[in-house]
Amino acid sequence: MRIVLLGAPGSGKGTQSQLLVKTYRVPQISTGDLLREAVASATALGRQAKTAMDQGHLVEDSIVLGMIRERLARADAANGFILDGFPRNIAQAAALENLLAELKQPLEAVVLLNLDLGILFKRLTGRRICEDCGRVFNILTSPPGTPPHCEKCGDKPRLLQRPDDREEVIGKRLEVYDAQTKPLIHHYRENGLLRVVDADADVATVFASLQRAVQGS
């Protein structure tokens, strides 16, 4: 399995990625995780990335691609990978294709977890995290009680909302995602790689659709 997984914040991409990892035993490769790991380990690429970030600049695509190259060389990626967070635009998609062609590991599919932006907005604004145990749930779509509380920890712990889950921030995040993703969807559809999965369902149903998509059925 060699796929790119596309999905807006709140589409369930993280949950579905972990199910794919467990089922197919291939790594989820998040460019955000790669950057944090490389910076923390002070690798050559990590030092370059840290310099850019410290100066308030975006990390160059060449640095991110170098990290992806190094990650794909590890033993656990021998049977494939799930790439998450890259590419974000057409230039990155072209650079990724060139890298994977060089490594003789071309993409087999690009899977989009598709969900209406209105539903995404509701999911994200209702998301809460238990201060004690870290459990994540949604007070709008899956109320854990009245008043909302963590079933494991009871009424005492606070239910926290992440700063980037506030309405004004979410609106901007979804606008940026929509603008970035539309060209990629067209690009991968033209290349015959795009698979679209309806993400407006329960976790098991979405995963069954995702499996059919990656298996080409």
Active site residue 166: no
| Active-site entry in 88, 123, 128, 195 | 88
Active site residue 22: no
Active site residue 158: no
| Active-site entry in 2, 123, 128, 173 | 173
56-84 as b/e: b if 16+ CB within 10 A: eeebebebbbbbbeebbeeeebeebbbbb
| Active-site entry in 13, 71, 128, 195 | 13
Active site residue 172: no
Phi, psi torsion values for 16, nearest 5 degrees: -70, -35
| Active-site entry in 2, 71, 127, 195 | 127
Q: Say how many C-beta atoms besides its own lie within 10 A of residue 214's C-beta.
A: 22
Q: Say how many C-beta atoms besides its own lie within 10 A of residue 50's C-beta.
A: 16
CB 86 within 8 A of CB 92: yes
| Active-site entry in 25, 74, 158, 162 | 162
Active site residue 162: yes
Q: How far apart are CA 33 and CA 159, in angstroms?
A: 26
- Mind telling me the catalytic residues? 13, 88, 127, 162, 173
